[in-house]
Structure 1
């Protein structure tokens, strides 16, 4: 039903092209009678949406608080079942997480467009954290753990479905809603923890993500950078420090580590939309590292050449092609060892990129048109460097179109200053519902 045309040049010209594309969309058009009714229904149901957010936020659902994640999932199950969705709990014990909610509405129309809507149940706030409760700060702002990231986004999904169901506008669209329980701390292996997303995306034509993106009402995430972790292990020849640099001893592990990191920076820092960060380094005569706690210790003396060093870091790229090219460059740097040193660089499985495609730009243009027709702003492509990786990345390569950042916006996500901008609640419910309604008619 939908076709995606992907070209490498889109990656380079993302912001410029998207700006031209969105502004070229037809001028504001009147809402039809169903769309006007959607707006009315959303406004009538707004108090209920606020109650739903408060109820979800007041349940602690840090990723490792399995009981809390299941409680939030049960709340969503009750809400979606009441709308008429078939709701399942997908157990997460195989990947050491609570699990996911999968809700399905199947149209009787065999040609109906199939849409995957993605949210998540978990937050970054642990069970014993002192940031636990929803609080209205004003008529336009609310605070609380996960209020924007992303219990507000889940509410936008459910509220949009309520409005469409109330108006009998779901007949020509099939929908799967996947609320994952491990977005903030993914279970391993990823092949199991993200399987539900991949399976649903293979089924779908379109994927919509309701993360808060870059928290800008004027933008949508038409692309997201992928994430992978990397580990650098370096070994040198131990000896008295007075012998460093000579032909028999060489440079030691710490100098070789410094060479590699500086070469990464010098050769790759100008690469567009790429970042790579060494987040932890330890080195000395002996080192210990606890992967589970992401902490380590080292023993060494000023007059002994360091024998071992370890660096842990991350790498974020906008396309698989860019990721593979950068990884090869990094490996080539690592292999060019200083005298009497050895180094090994390994990459961990991570989040794939959500590459910029013509399909994504087309969907963004449709979303922007809905926004303008409602009397709101033009929506342009967000800078992918302004938002992290997200679950939609596992869906994007399997669908014709994808778009993220459609949730409740705000500020301070992942901190105790997390605040939701409630002026975006009704707007983004309306936009999501009308976008789905319009797509269902195509």
Structure 2
């Protein structure tokens, strides 16, 4: 079966795709910039209007943050955009992107620059405003095809992926459990390599409370919170290398005050990456044991905040089946679709945790994401849109077998 005539339309959209990416990337949408996220959603709504999908803008619950002084506060999130088409179809696909970037509204990196004929530098051009444009263009190609209506699809554009998707996690989970295949449009590497297995990730904040005292007159009455937290940090760092693939990174330490006061407060932030559920269980047990041991010191109390917001994504049978199907699409287009494991994580972890096989780097080819050197390779816009569209065509036409659904609790 040939899909070439259907894919040729995407080539005619290359200039339009690039213009859309540039416009989206010039709108700052750092995770905390809710007005900016709303502007991105408005523009995406216009770009997607030809799809004829049901559109919903969902308000998300506030997330809990721990400030550097230990205060626990609630922070608002931007809206989630959800598009739904053909909901009564027997087979359903979930397509996911995110509207937020890592660049806050006061960051110096706000504009796009053309570096050469095939390279654009700009905030979010790869991660993932370019990816969202690829996604919506692939869906436009599907809806123009004879296979429109053969499969139902839902798009979720969440506003908080870069900060862990905590507010949107419930919507991702529900949508994943109702779908048969997941497609996420994080950027591929510059050479087209995709992400396969992904480590799980937990972000934690540990607050230590002690007892203040004069460092000279009554040092013996004080209980040093920084010293207690230093013991925790040393023990945490010592876990590195004890279990294959598990890493602990202590990222920030704050607390204390004048040199003549025994500090009664200290706080540290750390990240744990795990390659498997077994690794996560081991890390959680070790962390709790360390906290219990240090908390036994007289006058010291420890408060742990945070969790494993991203579960490990393992390349099980269903994921292998889906990647094999993508490889057949890549072969038809003359594209490499090699995948390799990564320590990074994304919403692909969330979908896999809900039992949904997914490919999570279907976006543009690019690199240097999360930095002022972030770039997009322009020719990958139509290239990657054709890859996703062909995957959709094959599934909708009944040419390809759907991956087995993983059973979850």
Q: How high is the TM-score relative to the length of structure 1?
A: 0.78
1:439 and 2:398 matched? no
> What is the SS of the residue equivalent to 2:110?
coil
Moved more, 52-61 or 208-217: 208-217
Q: Distance in 2 between matches of 1:185 and 1:329?
A: 25
Q: Distance in 2 between matches of 1:378 and 1:334?
A: 44
After TM superposition, list the pairs within 5 Å mapping 1:357-376 onto structure 2: 357-376=316-335
Q: C-alpha displacement at 1:175, in angstroms?
A: 0.6
Shift of 1:326: 0.6
**Hey, what does 1:136 align to over in structure 2?**
114
Local SS of the residue matching 1:368: helix
In the TM superposition, residue 308 of structure 1 has moved relative to its aligned partner by 4.3
The answer to whether 1:226 aligns with 2:184 is: no
What are structure 1's unaligned runs of at least 5 residues?
1-31, 285-297
Aligned counterpart, 2:180: 205
Q: Do the aligned partners of residues 127 and 400 (structure 1) sit closer, same or farther apart at CA in structure 2, a change above 3 Å counting?
A: closer
Aligned to 2:16: 48
* Alignment gaps of 5+ in structure 2: 64-75, 402-409
8 Å Cα contact 1:61/1:72 also seen in 2: yes
Query: Which 10-residue stretch deviates more, 428-437 or 304-313?
Result: 304-313
Aligned to 2:45: 77
Q: Secondary structure at the match of 2:123?
A: coil
1:203-242 Cα distance to aligned partner (Å, 9 max, x none): 1112111112555512233434233223142537857679
Is the deviation greater in 250-259 or in 224-233? 250-259
Displacement of 1:107 in angstroms is 5.8
**Equivalence for 1:269:** 241
2:365 aligned with 1:409? yes
Note if 1:182 corresponds to 2:160.
yes
- Superposed counterparts of 1:12-27, under 5 Å: none
Structure 2 partner of 1:419: 375
Deviation at 1:103, TM superposition (A): 0.6
**Partner Cα separation in structure 1 for residue 236 and residue 85 of structure 2:** 48
SS in 1 for 2:232: helix
**d(CA) in 1 for partners of 2:53, 2:225:** 58
Structure-2 residue corresponding to 1:196: 171
Could you report, residue by residue, the CA deviation over 1:317-357 in whole angstroms, capped at 9, with x for unpaired residues?
23444223211112212333486463525141452224202
Task: Find runs of 4+ consecutive structure 1 residues off by over 6 angstroms.
Answer: 241-244, 248-251
Q: 1:401 to 1:263 in 2, by over 3 A?
A: same
Query: What's 1:106 paired with?
Result: 86
Residue number in structure 1 paired with 2:310: 352
Mapped to 1, the partners of 2:148 and 2:371 lie a distance apart of: 37
Helix, strand or coil: the match of 2:268?
strand
Change (3 A) 1:368 1:78: same
CA distance in 2 between partners of 1:222 and 1:41 (Å): 33
Supply the distance in 2 between the matched residues of 1:322 and 1:186 (Cα, whole angstroms): 20
Tell me what 1:258 maps to: 230
Q: Distance in 2 between matches of 1:133 and 1:305?
A: 47
CA distance in 1, matches of 2:187, 2:104: 21
Pick from 270, 274, 279 the counterpart of residue 317 of structure 1.
Answer: 274
- More displaced 10-residue stretch of structure 1: 178-187 or 83-92: 178-187
Q: 1:215 to 1:124 in 2, by over 3 A?
A: same
Map residues 55-94 of structure 1 onto 2, 5 A cutoff: 55-92=23-60
CA contact (8 A) 1:157 1:429 kept: yes
Determine the C-alpha separation between the residues in 2 that align with 1:94 and 1:345: 21
1:273, 1:218 → 2: CA distance?
21
Deviation at residue 272 of structure 1 after TM alignment: 2.7
Deviation, structure 1 residue 138:
1.9
1:280 maps onto 2:252 in alignment? yes
| Count of residue pairs the alignment pairs up | 384
Match of 2:73 in 1: none
Q: CA offsets, 1:104-152, max 9 Å, x none? A: 111654x3x2111100112222334343223322221012211111100
What is the match of residue 404 of structure 2? none
Deviation at 1:425, TM superposition (A): 2.1
Superposed CA offset, 1:47-105 (max 9, x none): 22112212211222222322221121122112222122222222347561220110111
Alignment-derived partner of residue 146 in structure 2: 168
CA contact (8 A) 1:186 1:193 kept: no
Q: Could you tell me which of 75, 98, 101 is aligned with 1:120?
A: 98
CA distance in 2, matches of 1:39, 1:199: 32
In structure 2, distance between residues paired with 1:306 and 1:429: 56
- Once residues 421 and 39 of structure 1 are traced to their aligned partners in structure 2, the CA distance between those partners, rounded to angstroms, is 20
Is the CA contact (8 Å cut-off) linking 2:177 and 2:356 kept in structure 1? no
